[in-house]
Structure 1
Amino acid sequence: MKKFKKNIPTVFIVLTVLLTLFYCGNKNINQVAQNKIIKERPNVIYIMADDLTTQAISAYGGIYKDIAPTPNIDRLAKEGMLFNDVLCTNAICGPSRAAILTGNYSNINGYYKNERGGTFDKTKWTFPQEFQKNGYQTSLFGKWHLGTEPQGFDVFKYHNSAGQQGHYWNPIFNENGKDVKEKGYSTNLSTDFAMNWLEKDRKQDDPFLMVLQYKAPHRPWEPDTKYEKLWDDIEMPYPSTFNDTYEGRELTAGDTEMTMDYFSRRDMKLETPEHLKKDWKNRLSWEFYGAKRGEIVQPENMSAEEGKKWRYQTYIKDYLACVKSVDDNIGRVLKYLDDNNLTENTIIVLTSDQGFYLGDHGFFDKRFIYEESLRMPFIVRYPKKVKAKTVNEDVITNIDFAPTLLDLADINTEEQMQGNSFKPMLLGETPKNWEQEMYYHYYEFPYWHHVQPHYGIRTQKYTLAHFYYNIDVWELYDLEKDPKQMHNIILDPQYTNVVANLKIQLKGLMEKYENNKSLADFRKITDTDFGAIVENKSGEPSVQDIITNNKK
């Protein structure tokens, strides 16, 4: 007994050591297993061009596909899935970006409009933060345009001039908190930053999320030097709705400042007089002449029809030339993935913040619930899981992007999002309970472009919209019979029941998304000045102030 008692401490020590070794060994094994899971997760490259529209991408067809093809974007479609019915919940840059990042509508994320639209609340959760938290390297290059410094990125370098709108040439970027002026063309520069990070700065064996967001092809549509005269010797074709008279839509589509009559001297690339180049106030007044009603910019001795066509030709050639540079630079990214054996396990998303009008209905810009601005280009390539040369026709919205990207990366989150993952569609099967309709709401008025605030429902067959700020107008379009939306059939007795049912569905969606407010409340949002997108430290008036001669 004494001997046994004497050896108790020795036995206890041995057991403790063995248990400790076992625990540590298991812990190390679990850590190794966890690290392996993280390393096997797919890389994600999210590419978003600003104001890129399906009409400008040859994979979607259209009248420019043979004149201005986009071979690198088309390659993504050939090797992945092209989506035909991805829709924007609020077709304007900042609010769309906020919806994409948060997975929530404007009324939840708080970002309703661009003009005096405030800043995006940087304390809000965004999907890059979740990637970062789950072991991903994260980076952002190019355009941010939300008035704050990005959150959830290990490194960032974004446009930080002109209210974060940026400039095409020799732009200022915010690089991890410090402004740096770069020399060159912004589309090429943004890709240069991305390539440098991919090649040199990231950990080569760990998964990454890279967000690459181009300024192009946003206004003022300044092409790279090598593409400035690319189509000088041809006349671009005109959309079939170019000469829309807006019959039956006089107070909505017919009362905007986004027709071919509203291009400025800057848009038309007219040379600023030498004596104004150092006089910023008078220079801007001169350059932005044409943006107000009654200011028509065109060469002398042209008829109204000739002037309209001249403005369109200048605009469309510059726009498509900007797209060409975007396509070229996407090609650079694809080549890097190919050369470094990363293609198979990298998800690439190609999209825009909304659609855009390329002379359709005689318009440029976006904002409306009408198809050209509502529909977003959206292509996903993921060779490991997404079948090549596939096309999806389901109704999907931009609030669905965040949950889908997280789902594809097998990242679970407790964050509540209004959007839903469409990963099943990428794998080839649409869930039976997937909703094939969406709720739309645009709030900004009158700047820019004088588009009436409106909300509505878009199904696979119909568009119903209510324009409400200082008018009370409903519109209905049968997308099967009238895909160009030229005929407002809201008063057609054949559609009485359709209208009634759509209004019930619309109300249900507004309740679901917690935005079933009164018209007075909606108008209050439009009237509210949320402040400048970014602080104007210089004291200079904004471009809008100069255009309206109404300094705020």
Structure 2
Amino acid sequence: MRKIQFMALLAAFIGLVSCGKEHKKPNVIYVFADQWRAQSTGYAGDVNARTPILDKLAQEGINFKNAVSTCPSCTPYRASLLTGMYSTTHGLLLNDILLDPESESMAKIYKKAGYNTAYWGKWHVGGPYRLGYISESNRQGFDFWKVMECTHEYMDSWYFDGNDRNRKRWNGYDAHEQAKDLCKYISDHANDENPFLAVLSWGPPHDPYFQVPEKYLDMYSDLTNIVLRENVPEDYKDEALKMLQGYYAHIAALDESMGWIIQQIKDSGIEENTILIFTSDHGDMVGSKGMKHKSNPWDESIMVPFLLKYPDAVKEGRTIEMPIGTPDILPTLLGLCEINTDLKFEGSDFSDILLGNEDEFENAALITNPTKNVVKREFRGVRTSRYTYVEDLTGPWLLYDNEKDPYQFTNLIEQEGNDKLKAELKVKLTTALELANDEFLPEQDYLERFGLYITPGGYPPMNLEFDPNK
């Protein structure tokens, strides 16, 4: 009799423990690169990209085919990721601007929900001192901290470790070393009572394209083997090939690093209850349309890879066609983690679509450039699963049918027969602007509203001197 009672109590205890484990909120590991365009992956069809790890992740997880970098520049993206707000609300319209330390942001919300928080790599929402010490009050709730505000010296890269004002150097290619350090963190915290939020922000494949170990450059030593996108102009091909050698070398190196992270998640026994995301802050023209870098409304600039895996709750092996924008990421992650908050985000929570509780719909992701940075004009637009529609302050500017014209050769804005389509897309843009509380004003209005100054070159002042007291 006593034996039966003991076994019943033991079974009840095991059941309670199991229930406790089942109800532990998922870990979140958010890895994002800098300037990695959506087109430059193997699973997206790029024959140059050596991305076997990401290709497998795309097959096993969820591939957001139309993920849009809403304001495609480093600082605006990061601020929208952290806050779930658009740039015309949080005020970080350009690089090298400080995110309000009082912002209700990602790590603060997760900490209130019982999470440990950690961040590695490039921060770039801490103001103009790119190599300066970032005070605890400006870390937006992240506790574990191995970060530099902004550096692209990938082979000679410095960082600050927590509250130590003496900077340290990563030993070699910083993206590899940061990934290894994340792996150690995963191993050390896999069995903690509390879940963790871990964010890794890589600097590559952002230029300089040749700050990468030689073995990856050697993969692309024969430039004649690199296949250019069809929209690279003839007179730009030589320069594009040189850039792409290093660009793809970085991509191969980062893909290998993702392999280490994924393997560590498996080895630590937390794969089922971990949300893993890989993405990028924005894309890179890298020669397409004869252009470089970002902040443009064309797909190479705004479209980013976005892969998500969460075996416990999300059906795997899916491609989601519905566009999503940067401000949607935080509310969607909070929804997946079942974290309730009274905060009102401008982005949308699409977690029910990921969980299979709702169907996809024809969303229109907003594209913004509130300043004249890079393209020398302010613009707003929408990216649907098929069309790109963009206006500047003078009226309609761009219209592309991305299904028929994936390289965006033909601007349909002045062509006859498109009035109905233009009207429909204008309504989508108007609706998106209303949801974003975006009045679409001239640059100067926003600079005055947020007390910003930009140099004649079009950027806020920055400081590249190292001063631990700044």
- 1:442 to partner: Cα distance: 0.7
| Residue number in structure 2 paired with 1:506 | 429
Q: Is the 8 A contact 1:43 1:345 kept in 2?
A: yes
2:25 aligns with one of 16, 23, 41 = 41
Aligned counterparts of 2:242 and 2:289: Cα–Cα separation in 1 = 17
Higher mean C-alpha deviation, range 387-396 or range 93-102:
387-396
**For 1:315, what is the secondary structure of its paired residue?**
helix
- 1:508 to partner: Cα distance: 2.8
**Is it true that 1:87 corresponds to 2:68 in the alignment?**
yes
What amino acid is the match of 1:460?
S
1:453 aligns with one of 378, 382, 390 = 378
What amino acid is the match of 1:186?
D
| Residue number in structure 1 paired with 2:352 | 424
Aligned counterparts of 1:57 and 1:520: Cα–Cα separation in 2 = 35
Distance of aligned partners of 1:399 and 1:216 in 2 relative to their CA distance in 1, 3 Å threshold: same
**Is it true that 1:130 corresponds to 2:120 in the alignment?**
no
What amino acid is the match of 1:223?
V
The percentage of aligned residue pairs carrying the same residue is: 28
**Is it true that 1:466 corresponds to 2:466 in the alignment?**
no
- 1:388 to partner: Cα distance: 2.5
1:105-254 matched pairs, under 5 angstroms: 105-114=86-95, 117-147=96-126, 149-160=138-149, 164-177=150-163, 178-182=165-169, 183-200=171-188, 204-221=192-209, 222-235=211-224, 236-243=226-233
| Residue number in structure 1 paired with 2:277 | 349
**For 1:318, what is the secondary structure of its paired residue?**
helix
What amino acid is the match of 1:52?
W
**Is it true that 1:440 corresponds to 2:427 in the alignment?**
no
| Residue number in structure 2 paired with 1:273 | none
Q: Is the 8 A contact 2:88 2:370 kept in 1?
A: no
- 1:83 to partner: Cα distance: 1.0
TM-superposition CA deviations, 1:246-303 (whole Å, max 9, x none): xxxxxxxxxxxxxxxxxxxxxxxxxxxxxxxxxxxxxxxxxxxxxxxxxxxxxxxxxx
Aligned counterparts of 1:334 and 1:131: Cα–Cα separation in 2 = 22
| Residue number in structure 1 paired with 2:290 | 362
Structure 1: 5+ residue stretches without partners? 1-28, 245-304, 540-552
Q: Is the 8 A contact 1:39 1:207 kept in 2?
A: no
1:316 aligns with one of 244, 260, 275 = 244
Aligned counterparts of 2:317 and 2:336: Cα–Cα separation in 1 = 19
TM-superposition CA deviations, 1:333-364 (whole Å, max 9, x none): 11111212111111100100022224322333
What amino acid is the match of 1:128?
A
Aligned counterparts of 1:352 and 1:325: Cα–Cα separation in 2 = 15
**For 1:367, what is the secondary structure of its paired residue?**
coil
**For 1:59, what is the secondary structure of its paired residue?**
coil
| Residue number in structure 1 paired with 2:439 | 516
Aligned counterparts of 1:234 and 1:458: Cα–Cα separation in 2 = 33
- 1:219 to partner: Cα distance: 1.1
What amino acid is the match of 2:144?
V
**For 1:107, what is the secondary structure of its paired residue?**
helix
What amino acid is the match of 2:426?
K
2:323 aligns with one of 376, 390, 395 = 395
Aligned counterparts of 2:47 and 2:287: Cα–Cα separation in 1 = 12
Aligned counterparts of 1:517 and 1:475: Cα–Cα separation in 2 = 16
Higher mean C-alpha deviation, range 55-64 or range 37-46:
37-46
Superposition CA RMSD, Å: 2.8
TM-superposition CA deviations, 1:472-494 (whole Å, max 9, x none): 66222223332322111212220
Q: Which has the larger radius of gyration?
A: 1
- 1:521 to partner: Cα distance: 5.5
Q: Is the 8 A contact 2:71 2:295 kept in 1?
A: yes
- 1:504 to partner: Cα distance: 3.2
2:82 aligns with one of 97, 101, 106 = 101
Instruction: Give the TM-score taking structure 1 as reference length.
Output: 0.73
Instruction: Give the TM-score taking structure 2 as reference length.
Output: 0.84
Distance of aligned partners of 1:426 and 1:155 in 2 relative to their CA distance in 1, 3 Å threshold: same
| Residue number in structure 1 paired with 2:406 | 483
- 1:206 to partner: Cα distance: 2.9
1:528-547 matched pairs, under 5 angstroms: 528-529=452-453, 532=460, 535=463
TM-superposition CA deviations, 1:306-333 (whole Å, max 9, x none): xx43322221010111111111111111
| Residue number in structure 2 paired with 1:50 | 34
**Is it true that 1:72 corresponds to 2:62 in the alignment?**
no
Aligned counterparts of 1:533 and 1:175: Cα–Cα separation in 2 = 26
Aligned counterparts of 1:358 and 1:499: Cα–Cα separation in 2 = 29
Q: Is the 8 A contact 1:87 1:397 kept in 2?
A: yes
- 1:193 to partner: Cα distance: 2.1
Aligned counterparts of 2:142 and 2:214: Cα–Cα separation in 1 = 32
Aligned counterparts of 1:521 and 1:102: Cα–Cα separation in 2 = 24
